[in-house]
Structure 1
Amino acid sequence: MAGRIPQAFIDELLSRIDIVDVISARLPLKKSGSNYAARCPFHNEKTPSFTVSQSKQFYHCFGCQEHGTAISFVMHYDNLHFVDAVEMLAESVGLDVPREQADQKRVDSRKPLYALMQRCADYYYTQLKASETAINYLKKRELSGETAKKFGIGYAPSGWQNLDTLFSARDTETLQKLGMLIRNDAGRVYDRFRDRVMFPIRDRRGRVIAFGGRILEQGEPKYLNSPETPLFRKGEELYGLFEARRSAQDQGTIVVVEGYMDVVSLSQHGVENCVATLGTATTSAHIETLFRIVPNIVFCFDADRAGREAAWRALKATLPALQDGRDAHFAFLPNGEDPDSFIASKGRATFEEFIRKANTATDFLLAHLSEDLNLDEVGGRARLAQLAKPLIESLPDGVYKQLTHQELEQRIGMALQQPTTSPETAAPSLVPQQAVRTTVSSHPTKASLLRRALALVLQKPSIATSLTNDVIVRNANSVGELMFSQVVTLCRENPHISTAGVLENFRTSPHFKGLGKLATSQLMPGDRDMAEETAEQELNDIMTKIQQLSSKTDSQLVAAPLRKGLLSIRKPGTNPDGA
């Protein structure tokens, strides 16, 4: 069971979709021999090194080593969780995703909620065209109709019961749960959003889950957000993420700003990799969501006290996620400026240069802590060390943590005790950490032979049915043997399964990544075009060699104590003492 979706359904889904269709819908593929090639969407490159195998239903980048199935691609490219990726792919081929009974009820109960929120968004978008005041406001902000359409911007009329009269009584009850309608103590139902420019808030799949409204005339609050609902959690969602993710992936950077209008205005000027928090401080959930898309986050806040406090909270939420390969920067706008006004007056090029020159997380950390300290004095430097060390300790173990510690040492002018590191608790790997190349040496070990056999079956699943020497399959002992046995058994039970289908059966296994590496490994020069008959013969030869090595090892285990005189031959019925 993966994500409470039956594995049998995952297998069926993979048999119904074509990875070439899935990927070509998102980026251009070019035929290259029996495969397809493209420039990798997950890292910047000039020469295409991203390969898609239609026969294996698998993709692999020789540049950044990203690889996986159609499900993996959609998860990474569209920034979706596993279940959402499965649902999206299932919808594309007209399949309904089955669930466990309790989970199915939850999913079924949410579908009409999304539909109602979309109807509200459509209504507001239609009303925008009828409101001269709202249109003039957007024109004043120099927003085009194209930008308004991209973000689905609409208008909530000034009446109190627009939605109440538009929807049925049953729907109005649901709209109260979704925060669109409010029932007062007297039992009167009225619209939450009135006379406001409306900004739909979308989830990672583009579904409307909430709204933000900006008042047009005088009044408070200036901005009003949907409350938390069954669809909406402020601490998990980001405004503009659905629209920004493609540009962000291309650039490797996401810019976090403070308001809806900042995101929309920046997009209007061509800066499309921006998001905003939703009336709440940046949370660890926000950070992890962003780092799943890009390796670098830039926080762009006002330079006033509120902006700096927001940046400090964002830094503290970010530090525990700054593992090697990730980074964060902080940019503070000139006094009196916000991103909207800055880009309107200075232009896109100046704004992008400003973002490129943002302070590193380490610089901001130490500068912020030093603000009220005199580092010319011993006490000031000691205080800085005292304040900084707990925050540095919150960083994940790695080079980033060590370098941040060195920066602190340079600021205070002395060496400190190195930050603590945590013992590794990773599951044992089926493959070495370095790039896999499963060639077999002239004196192969059982482990190297087993890795090669596993790679052969993963890359050519149909050869599992030709395995004649299956002692390991029947009598598996080690982790590697058990994994090989499970893969072979799966392939035998599903003779038409693809490489992708095999891997998806092990998505929840601690060895999923290791299997993925073996599935993309270079077996030997020319092995990528190896005939199936050749692979079948080699697989059986490997099994014979493994059996021979096992027999030899067993003999050595018996012979060793004999040579040392630890065993004596005695008559049946005698005890070890010869009595």
Structure 2
Amino acid sequence: MSLPPNFLEELRLRTPLAPLIGRSVKLTRAGRQWRGCCPFHGEKSPSFYVYDDHYHCFGCGAHGDAIAYVMQSQGASFPEAVERLAAEAGLEVPKATPQQARREEKRRDLHGVMQAAAEAFQRRLRLPEGRAGLDYLLRRGLSEETIRKFGLGWSGGGRGTLAADLKPLGIEPPQLVEAGLMRAGEGDAPPADLYFNRVMFPIRDRRGRIVSFGGRVLGDAQPKYVNGPETELFSKRRNLYGADLAREAAFKGAPVVVVEGYMDVIALHQAGFGGAVAPLGTALTEEQLAELWRMAPQPLLCFDGDKAGLRAAARAAELALPLLSPERSLGFVTLPAGEDPDTLVAKGGSGAFRTLLEAARPLSAVLYGMLAEKHPGGTPEARAALRHDLEDAAGKIPDKFLAGEYRRALLDSFFAGNRRPAPAPRQPWSPRGGAGGRGARPLAPALNLPRPGIDPAQVRQEQARCLLAITLAHPWLLGEVEEALASLELPEGMARRLQQAMLGWHGGTERLEAAALADHLEKMDPDGLAWLRQSPRMLPAAAKEAALPQLVTQQWWYFFGRFRGEAALLLEREAAVRDLAATGSAAAQTRLIRLNELLAAQRRGEMEEENEGG
């Protein structure tokens, strides 16, 4: 069964290995990889590792990709394995035809053409006519080793030069046109050269095969750079310059850094940053983001600090939001004004660029700054518009736990930026000496009134009301606390009915908004909704709509702890530890932190009432 390599590559890209293998093998995180007991030989200690694009057993030597795993684990043939994976990935398997076979043969021939062209360009760089190109590269600070490593060359100055160089190898102009090295002539005109008088940069795919070229002209001629056209071998949307070298460096722990141009990538590699890559004359695409995430969970995007750089960062942030997961994010690096990575390294060495990488900002911070810039000013309208955009941005993230974390981070920044200073504490009044001090009126003695008896059932009922009122005001909490809320034995009656109504609503809605939840409760249990809203001054501060997300989370877990004794909390913590080990998610980590805080507070006997301002 002969299938197009592009189809097989797309199938592998759409089939994440860890979820596929995790159906039959218990996997746990081991750094950036996953580890488990090998399914192909009996073992008690795990030696089977799953990477982004392959698996390997260090015990029996089993090795392969997604297709190989289905074949080995299910006894499927190659066509059967491809059919099963394609069905899950939503791809249609191409039918084998004589035309397809000829196309594949042509593709193999085109790879040979590209390699021959690269060798011809490299030879010309060392000829007298290529001296200007070689001097340019050396003047830019590249070493001879770097020039050879990246296969840099010279196109030649005369028209028809490349065709003449490759003719002895049996390569004809029509093949050069198909490979994107020449342009088809108009009418009866012969093909024309695409590159002349240019320094040549081979572009390789992730497997290291040359698929296109970029050419830089010397002097002030325009365009300064010419990139190869779309061909059978090359797609600008899918490829990244330097990806073949960056994959290996990233596997060894190097940060993956996205910069703008060829020379930036080459200069960074020479300075020791082997994970540098660049798009190919286009804005970053979804396909390129997927390739970056195959290399590293949080690649760093490096942009200029000018308006164009900020616009590029904004486009990348918007593109990434619907693709994020707990294992995939982005960091952002802003270059000093007037600098690019090439010039920065030339002036300040690798240390200058490393300092920038260490100061990289997370996607959440960049996203907040981008949206805040769209709504300047402190008017109620501007603040409402900004808050709406922040909620909308978090809602684009498909993973509900991650969306909840982003919502909290963005709203924390929103409220921190608009928080008013707290008023100074009031001092005892004095008619002669002002507040406090000499001559102040003595404070009235405290009244020792008898305390009424405490009804434990009424206390639990009021605690349940506080917990549910916080949830009503901030339904985004349900993404984090759904399982914990479902585990509580709330008092019978309105509290229990409201608990079930909220959980049922969360399971069937995509709009985690307070108004939507209130409308649902108004239909399901109007008496319960009225109960939640009565005596608002007796509710904790977190039940207010404007409460800071951090306070909301703390107070929710505080009331949760009131319902669970120490033994129950210990069991809950054990489950949270297992969940964190299995998923590594931010939500599981947050849950474990809250439970540890609750246990520590209970053991100290200091469960604080965090309802100041209520």
TM-score after normalising by structure 2: 0.54
Question: After superposition, where does 1:76-225 map in structure 2 within 5 Å?
Answer: 100-101=96-97, 103-130=100-127, 131-168=130-167, 171-185=172-186, 187-225=189-227
Residues 389, 49 of structure 1: alpha-carbon distance in 2 compared, 3 angstrom cutoff? closer
Residues 126, 280 of structure 1: alpha-carbon distance in 2 compared, 3 angstrom cutoff? same
Q: Which amino acid aligns with 2:197?
A: D
Residues 101, 348 of structure 1: alpha-carbon distance in 2 compared, 3 angstrom cutoff? same
Distance 2:302 2:315 in 1: 13
The two structures, once aligned, show a CA RMSD in angstroms of: 3.7
Distance 1:149 1:114 in 2: 20
Q: Deviation per CA, 1:322-356: give whole Å up to 9, x if none.
A: 10122211111011000101111122123122112
Counterpart in the other structure of 2:351 = 349
Counterpart in the other structure of 1:237 = 239
Distance 2:477 2:166 in 1: 60
Q: Which amino acid aligns with 1:269?
A: A
1:44–1:250 CA contact under 8 A, matched in 2: no
Residues 74, 4 of structure 1: alpha-carbon distance in 2 compared, 3 angstrom cutoff? closer
What is the Cα deviation at residue 312 of structure 1? 1.5
2:2–2:96 CA contact under 8 A, matched in 1: no
Question: After superposition, where does 1:401-480 map in structure 2 within 5 Å?
Answer: 401-413=403-415, 418=476
Distance 1:190 1:4 in 2: 30
What is the Cα deviation at residue 166 of structure 1? 2.5
Residue aligned with 2:133, SS: helix
Counterpart in the other structure of 1:291 = 293
What is the Cα deviation at residue 306 of structure 1? 1.6
Residue aligned with 1:213, SS: strand
Residue aligned with 1:371, SS: helix
Residues 291, 107 of structure 1: alpha-carbon distance in 2 compared, 3 angstrom cutoff? same
Does the alignment pair 1:71 with 2:73?
no
Residue aligned with 2:154, SS: strand
What is the Cα deviation at residue 63 of structure 1? 12
Residue aligned with 1:239, SS: coil
1:151–1:243 CA contact under 8 A, matched in 2: no
Alignment gaps of 5+ in structure 1: 6-39, 77-81, 87-98, 422-579
Distance 2:50 2:175 in 1: 50
What is the Cα deviation at residue 249 of structure 1? 2.2
1:238–1:278 CA contact under 8 A, matched in 2: yes
Residues 234, 166 of structure 1: alpha-carbon distance in 2 compared, 3 angstrom cutoff? same
Residues 67, 111 of structure 1: alpha-carbon distance in 2 compared, 3 angstrom cutoff? closer
Q: Which amino acid aligns with 1:164?
A: A
What is the Cα deviation at residue 381 of structure 1? 1.7
Q: Which amino acid aligns with 2:134?
A: I
Distance 1:135 1:270 in 2: 22
What is the Cα deviation at residue 171 of structure 1? 2.3
Question: After superposition, where does 1:273-422 map in structure 2 within 5 Å?
Answer: 273-374=275-376, 376-413=378-415, 418=476
Which is worse superposed, 351-360 or 245-254?
245-254
Distance 2:478 2:29 in 1: 37
Larger Cα-atom Rg? 2
What is the Cα deviation at residue 2 of structure 1? 10
Distance 2:353 2:68 in 1: 31
What is the Cα deviation at residue 114 of structure 1? 0.5
2:120–2:165 CA contact under 8 A, matched in 1: no
Q: Deviation per CA, 1:235-277: give whole Å up to 9, x if none.
A: 1100000011111122263110010100000011111101000
What is the Cα deviation at residue 283 of structure 1? 0.5
Residue aligned with 1:303, SS: coil
1:43–1:250 CA contact under 8 A, matched in 2: no
Residues 177, 151 of structure 1: alpha-carbon distance in 2 compared, 3 angstrom cutoff? same
Residues 63, 146 of structure 1: alpha-carbon distance in 2 compared, 3 angstrom cutoff? closer
2:116–2:166 CA contact under 8 A, matched in 1: no
Residues 174, 208 of structure 1: alpha-carbon distance in 2 compared, 3 angstrom cutoff? same
Residues 395, 49 of structure 1: alpha-carbon distance in 2 compared, 3 angstrom cutoff? closer
Counterpart in the other structure of 2:48 = 60
Q: Which amino acid aligns with 2:280?
A: L
Q: Which amino acid aligns with 2:248?
A: R
2:203–2:214 CA contact under 8 A, matched in 1: yes
Q: Deviation per CA, 1:73-119: give whole Å up to 9, x if none.
A: 9999xxxxx99xx9xxxxxxxxxxxx944554432221001100111
Distance 1:42 1:180 in 2: 45
Distance 1:128 1:417 in 2: 65
What is the Cα deviation at residue 417 of structure 1? 5.1
Structure scoring higher RCO (CA < 8 A, sep ≥ 6) equals 1
2:255–2:273 CA contact under 8 A, matched in 1: no
2:117–2:166 CA contact under 8 A, matched in 1: no
TM-score after normalising by structure 1: 0.57
Q: Deviation per CA, 1:59-80: give whole Å up to 9, x if none.
A: 614999x94542239999xxxx
Alignment gaps of 5+ in structure 2: 6-27, 57-61, 70-77, 83-94, 419-472, 480-614
Q: Deviation per CA, 1:207-240: give whole Å up to 9, x if none.
A: 1000011111220011110011111110110000
Counterpart in the other structure of 2:603 = none
What is the Cα deviation at residue 320 of structure 1? 1.8
Residues 106, 41 of structure 1: alpha-carbon distance in 2 compared, 3 angstrom cutoff? farther
Residue aligned with 2:196, SS: coil
Residue aligned with 2:226, SS: strand
Distance 1:316 1:75 in 2: 36
What is the Cα deviation at residue 402 of structure 1? 1.1
Identity across aligned pairs (percent)?
Answer: 32
Residues 71, 370 of structure 1: alpha-carbon distance in 2 compared, 3 angstrom cutoff? same
Q: Deviation per CA, 1:360-402: give whole Å up to 9, x if none.
A: 1111011011114335332222111222333322212143221
Counterpart in the other structure of 2:500 = none
What is the Cα deviation at residue 308 of structure 1? 1.6
